[in-house]
């Protein structure tokens, strides 16, 4: 059995009610290396300073209470081993601070209600079942549908994804990764009667699903593999491809233009993307009045980028293309994906096999893949 060893924790302390500025406090604790950051904080609290504030309950990565940032990354304090955190600590001191994008109540405790829960409530986080015609007994749902929502259902509402979402930092009104994943859980549930309304609402909201910038941060942050960004992409596919929702934020047009440019050139052409997103998905798009307006408004940014050498004038105007043979490979990928009779949704969350050997546990929707 491993012996206890010394670890130094650097905790961010802050009490907004005191009027004092935040500060760092260091404590050296002694624990076996496999023990958690939460164990370390609780020991520091018991041995050195009872006023350290941390929220926790289950200590088993189930309740979602102990979200913090460890060495600058969001995660669960009870689910992060001291030895692993030490490996990531640049100066040998494990740094723990409160999650981001939410106001601090005290020390490591943030106000989840002010941000996270408010956004969850925003997406109507319950099933809206039909009022008439309910089955006499239980509502039978086909297995494939439930497999599809399993990943979103694994969320424990810890807020780690919200903490470091880059879009939320830029736009605090963005619905955010956790709430979007929750929305997908009901949009994909065949018992819900509000799927179209939910999708339209989230597509038309300027702070809705098209506000995500695909930074992947929420995927890295989530301790439960919910991959909120993937749920947002699924919401977009359902909104645009399945229901033809062309939103007023140009989200659907932007994605269509993006895909067309990559298909035709093998690479993105930024200068074409903007006018096509507003004026229509063709070379003529730039002559549409809406495209003209947005091009004019982007001139200061483009000029700055040119002056700073971030963009070469020739590339800015004409863009770049892959060689013809490479473009053919890209186009073949498009042909394969678009030629499928049904869209494939990859549910990479579930794994394993049924005990009775009848197939993969949580057999994925037809054509889906489990790993």
Instruction: Give the nearer residue to ligand SF4 in terms of CB position, either 179 or 291.
Output: 179
Choose among ligand SF4, ligand FES, none what residue 222 binds, the Cβ cut-off being 5 to 8 Å by kind.
ligand SF4
- Is residue 217 within the footprint of ligand SF4 (CB under 6 A)? yes
Could you say which residues in the range 126-165 bind ligand SF4, by CB under 6 A? 155-161, 165
Please, are residues 128 and 197 in contact by the beta-carbon 8 Å criterion? Answer: no
Could you say which residues in the range 1-60 bind ligand FES, by CB under 6 A? 56-59
Q: How far is CA 112 from the centre of its chain?
A: 17
| Helix H or strand E encompassing 24 | strand 23-31
Rounded to whole angstroms, the Cα distance separating 229 from 234 reads 9
- Is residue 228 within the footprint of ligand SF4 (CB under 6 A)? yes
**304 Cβ neighbours under 8 A, 6+ residues apart:** none
- Is residue 163 within the footprint of ligand FES (CB under 6 A)? no
Please, are residues 224 and 349 in contact by the beta-carbon 8 Å criterion? Answer: no
Specify the length of the chain in residues: 371
Among 40, 98, 177, 365, binds ligand SF4 (CB under 6 A): 177
How many residues contact ligand SF4, by CB under 6 A? 27
- Is residue 181 within the footprint of ligand SF4 (CB under 6 A)? yes
Smallest separation (angstroms) from ligand SF4 to the CB of 161: 3
b vs e for 160-190, b when ≥16 Cβ sit within 10 Å of the residue's Cβ?
bbbbbbbbbeeeeebbbbbbbbbbbbbbbbe
Q: Which stretch binds ligand SF4 (CB under 6 A): 132-140, 219-227, 254-262, 318-326?
A: 219-227
- Is residue 202 within the footprint of ligand FES (CB under 6 A)? no
Among 150, 213, 260, 331, binds ligand SF4 (CB under 6 A): 213
| Helix H or strand E encompassing 306 | helix 289-307
Choose among ligand FES, ligand SF4, none what residue 284 binds, the Cβ cut-off being 5 to 8 Å by kind.
none
Smallest separation (angstroms) from ligand SF4 to the CB of 229: 4
Long-range pairs for 314-322: beta carbons < 8 A, 24 or more residues apart: 316/270, 316/271, 317/271, 319/265, 319/267, 319/269, 319/270, 319/271, 319/272, 320/265, 320/267, 320/269, 321/265, 321/266, 321/267, 322/265, 322/266, 322/267
Q: What is the largest CA-CA distance in the chain?
A: 72
Choose among ligand FES, ligand SF4, none what residue 233 binds, the Cβ cut-off being 5 to 8 Å by kind.
none
Query: In 10 A of CB 236, how many CB atoms?
Result: 23
Question: ∠ at Cα 303 (301, 307), nearest 5°?
Answer: 120
Instruction: Give the nearer residue to ligand FES in terms of CB position, either 53 or 166.
Output: 53
Choose among ligand SF4, ligand FES, none what residue 167 binds, the Cβ cut-off being 5 to 8 Å by kind.
ligand SF4
Could you say which residues in the range 61-120 bind ligand FES, by CB under 6 A? 61-66, 76, 78
- Is residue 229 within the footprint of ligand SF4 (CB under 6 A)? yes
Judged by the rule CB under 6 A, the positions of this chain that interact with ligand FES are: 56-59, 61-66, 76, 78
Judged by the rule CB under 6 A, the positions of this chain that interact with ligand SF4 are: 155-161, 165-167, 177-178, 181, 212-218, 221-222, 224, 226, 228-229, 232
């Amino acid at each position: 059995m491993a012996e206890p060893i010394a670890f130094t924790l650097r905790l961010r302390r802050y009490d907004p009610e005191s009027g004092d500025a935040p500060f760092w406090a260091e404590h050296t604790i002694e624990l076996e290396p496999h023990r958690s950051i939460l164990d370390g904080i609780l020991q520091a609290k018991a041995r050195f300073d009872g006023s350290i504030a941390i929220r926790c309950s289950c200590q088993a990565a189930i309740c979602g209470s102990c979200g913090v940032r460890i060495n600058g990354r969001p995660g669960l304090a009870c689910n992060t081993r001291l030895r692993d955190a030490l490996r990531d600590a640049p100066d040998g001191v494990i740094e723990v601070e409160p999650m981001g994008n939410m106001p601090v109540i005290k020390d490591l405790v943030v106000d989840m209600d002010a941000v996270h829960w408010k956004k969850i409530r925003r997406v109507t986080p319950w099933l809206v079942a039909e009022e008439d015609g309910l089955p006499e007994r239980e509502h039978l749902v086909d297995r494939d549908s439930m497999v599809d929502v399993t990943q979103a259902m694994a969320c424990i509402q810890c807020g780690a994804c919200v903490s470091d979402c880059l879009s939320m930092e830029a736009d605090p009104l963005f619905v955010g990764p956790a709430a979007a994943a929750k929305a997908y859980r009901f949009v994909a549930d065949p018992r819900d009667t509000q799927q179209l309304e939910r999708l339209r609402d989230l597509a038309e909201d300027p702070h809705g699903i098209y506000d995500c910038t695909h930074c992947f941060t929420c995927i890295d942050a989530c301790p439960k593999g919910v991959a909120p960004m993937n749920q947002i992409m699924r919401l977009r596919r359902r909104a645009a491809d399945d229901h033809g929702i062309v939103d007023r934020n140009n989200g659907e047009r932007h994605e269509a233009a993006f895909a067309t440019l990559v298909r035709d050139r093998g690479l993105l052409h930024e200068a074409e993307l903007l006018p096509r997103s507003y004026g229509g998905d063709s070379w003529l798009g730039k002559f549409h009045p809406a495209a003209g307006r947005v091009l004019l408004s982007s001139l200061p940014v483009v000029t700055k980028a040119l002056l700073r050498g971030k963009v070469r004038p020739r590339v800015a105007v004409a863009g770049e293309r892959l060689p013809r043979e490479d473009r053919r490979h890209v186009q073949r990928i498009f042909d394969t994906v678009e030629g499928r009779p049904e869209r494939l949704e990859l549910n990479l969350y579930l794994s394993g096999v049924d005990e009775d050997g009848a197939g993969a546990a949580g057999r994925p929707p037809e054509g889906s893949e489990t790993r």
